[in-house]
A = this chain, B = another copy of it.
Amino acid sequence: MSIDTAPPTPTPHARHDHAHCVADALARADALCAQRGARLTTLRRRVLELVWSSHRPRGAYAILEDLSQQDGKSTAPLTVYRALEFLVEQGLVHRIESLNAYVGCASPGASHSGQFLVCEGCGDAAEIDDSSIRTAIESAAIARGFRVQRPTVEVRGVCKDCQEKHP
């Protein structure tokens, strides 16, 4: 069976060891939080793991359902929102504004602004950290006397794999 005819999978670009992605993300989170004295509690760690369950942005309520299902009892939205708030503050998770959803950060610890290529086909959100974009935004802002605090770049379009599937 050739790669070209591979069936649709939850993670479309699934030619990778995703379990490794998750384990890696959790390990980095542990290290970062320990280093900072931030408390990555069991709950927060579980939420982080659920955010990382795919490379697609996931809604707070989707995570909530996972959590409830795992525990057999229903959890309150606030529980998830508070955990997400912590994770975003720590730079472990990014919020995709145009989707009201959350996705694991590809390189936490590094200072970066969050730039995403969001595919309409598969829903994947690929995080990039392009210095040209960063500096272009900074320059444009400076030219107008605007002090940048948090740049948001979310590019909708179609990823490489999805283009090949629907030519």
Shortest distance between the CB of A87 and any CB in chain B (Å): 18
Q: Are B126 and A132 in contact (CB under 8 A)?
A: no
Tally of this chain's copies: 2
Least CB separation from A155: chain B residue: B151
Q: Which chain B residues lie closer than 8 Å to A146 at the CB level? A: 117, 119, 126, 155, 157-160
Interface size bucket, A side?
35 or more
- A117 and B133 CA atoms in complex are apart in Å by 15
Q: Cβ of B152 and Cβ of A98 under 8 Å apart?
A: yes
- CB neighbours (8 Å) of A135 from chain B are 136
Taking CB atoms, residues of chain B closer than 8 Å to A151 are 153-156
Let me know if A150 and B141 touch, CB within 8 A.
no
Could you tell me if B159 and A145 are in contact, using CB atoms closer than 8 angstroms?
A: yes
Nearest first, the 4 A-B pairs at minimum CB distance are A145-B160, A132-B136, A97-B98, A130-B140
